[in-house]
Amino acid sequence: MIFKRFFSPKSDGDFCTLYADRTTINRRNVAADPAKAYRADRDFFLVVVQSRVIAAAMEILGIQSKSSRPYKCPIPPGVGNMSNQAKLQYLHKVAAMIVDSFVFDQSSVNHLVDKILTAQEKEDAINSQQLTEDGRFPCRFPGCNYSFQYDGRSRRRHELTHNPPPEVPTNQAEPSGDQPNSDESVATQQEVKSDDVYNYNCALLTDGLFFMNFLDAIAEGDGGRMMRQYKYLLLYCRADGTHSTKYALECLYQSFLVNAMLNPRDAERFVWNRTVNNSGKPGKNIALDLDVEHSNNFVKQAIKHLGPNLTEDAVSRICKAENSARTVLENIDRSICRAAGSSEHSQRSLERDLSVLVDKCLSNSVFEKHDSRRYVCFRGFERDPFRSLDMSSMFKWINKHKKNMHSGLRAR
C-alpha cells in the first residue's frame, strides 16, 4: 500500500518523491511491486524514511548543517555531565516536537474523530428506534401498518405521502443535498492553497514511521504492540478499498480472536507467540514464518546430500532430527573454534545515500509550508489517508462480521 500510494515512475520529474530519490541514489533494483523485490524495496524505503527523519529534526531544531548547533531548541549546557534520565527526557522532548509538527495532523485527527462520533450517533439513533416483531422499521404515521426492511429512502418517501407527514428527528433524517456541494467547495479551496511537496513528505514520514514501528515490534517480540499496529492497519486496508479487503478481514478476525473467541490462555498465546529469538540477544527476534523458512533451508541442505537414497522415510528422519543435528553442529563448531557464517545479507554503507537525500530535502525545504507548490504526478496530494474512509460503512461492515462470527461463520 505504501508503494502504491507514493511510488510512480511518472514522478521522476517531481523532486523528493520515492521514484526521484531512487534515481538520485541509483537504486535500480527497486521495483514498483514490492512482491517482486521486497528486500530491495524495504531497504530503500528505510533509507528514505531515515533521511526524512533527519531533515525534519534539522528543521525543528534549527540546524543549518551537520556541523552547526541547534538554535530553535538549544542543547542544555553541560549535557555530557547530565544523567541518562535527563538526556532521555531531552530526546523525548525533541522527538515529540517532530511528531507533533509533521506526523500528527491535528485537522486530520479531528476529522477522523468527528466521522467516528457521527457514525456512532447515527448507529445509536437507528438502534434506539422501535421495530416490529419481525425486526422491520415501521411507518411513523399513526395507524399506518406499512413496515420496511431498511431505514432508508423508501421509508422516507412513503412517510411523505401522509398528510401531514410524521416528524422525523434531525439525527435520523437524510443529509441535505447542499452539504456535499459545500464540502466540495471547501475541498477545492483547500486544494488551491495546499502544498503538495509538504503534504507528500509529511505523509511519507508518517507511513514510514508506522512501518518502522511494526518492524521494531517484531524485533522486540512485543505482541501487544503488534496487535495495536494491526488495529491501525485495519483502517489503512479499509481506506484502500477492494484491493485490501482480505487483509482488512484478517486484521478484524485477529481482534475477534483476542477479545471474544479465545479463552484468556489461548488469547495470551496468540498475542505473544508470534516471534522467536534464536540468538538470545535483545532486539533479535524474527517472525515465526521466517524461522520456518530458515528451518526449511536447513532441511533442504541435508536432503540435497541424499542423492539416489532420497526416500520418504529418509526425509522424515532428517526432519525429526533437525534440532538435534543443529545442536551437534553448533557444539562441534564451538569446540574447534570455528566461526559460524552469518545468514544476514551484507549491506553497503548508507552514509553517502543518506547525506545526498538529506541535502536534497533541505535544499527544497520539503518540511516548510509554501502555498500552491505543486507536483505534476502527485498533484493535489491528500495527506490524510483516511479522508475518504466512510466510517458509517465501516460500522456496518464490522457489525456484519460480528454477526457472522456469532453464527459460527469465519470473517470472510
Per-residue model confidence (pLDDT) at position 109: 66
- Provide the pairing of β-strand 275-276 with 137-138: unpaired
Of 348, 345, 352, the residue nearest 38 (C-alpha)? 345
Per-residue model confidence (pLDDT) at position 115: 67
| Residue appearing with cell numbers 527544497 | 364
Q: Which three cell numbers stand for residue 210?
A: 508506522
Q: CB-side exposure of 109: number of CA atoms within 13 Å?
A: 7
Cis check: omega of the bond before 282, within 30 degrees of 0:
no
List 275's β-bridge partners, or say none: 287
Of 46, 52, 17, the residue nearest 34 (C-alpha)? 46
Residue 148's H or E segment, with its range, is strand 147-148
**DSSP 8-state symbol, 257:** I
- Residues of the chain whose pLDDT is less than 50? 173-188
Where would I find the H helices in 221-350? 223-239, 245-256, 264-272, 288-304, 312-320, 322-335
Per-residue model confidence (pLDDT) at position 111: 66
Q: Which three cell numbers stand for residue 16?
A: 523528493
Per-residue model confidence (pLDDT) at position 64: 80
Alpha-carbon dihedral of residues 303, 304, 308, 311, nearest 10 degrees? 20
| Residue appearing with cell numbers 485490501 | 244
Q: Is 221 exposed, middle or buried (0-12, 13-18, 19+ CB in 10 A)?
A: buried
Q: Check if the beta carbon of residue 196 is closer than 8 Å to that of residue 374.
A: yes
Q: How far apart are CA 381 and CA 273, in angstroms?
A: 39
Q: How far apart are CA 115 and CA 135, in angstroms?
A: 27
Q: How far apart are CA 282 and CA 49, in angstroms?
A: 24
**DSSP 8-state symbol, 101:** I
List 276's β-bridge partners, or say none: 286
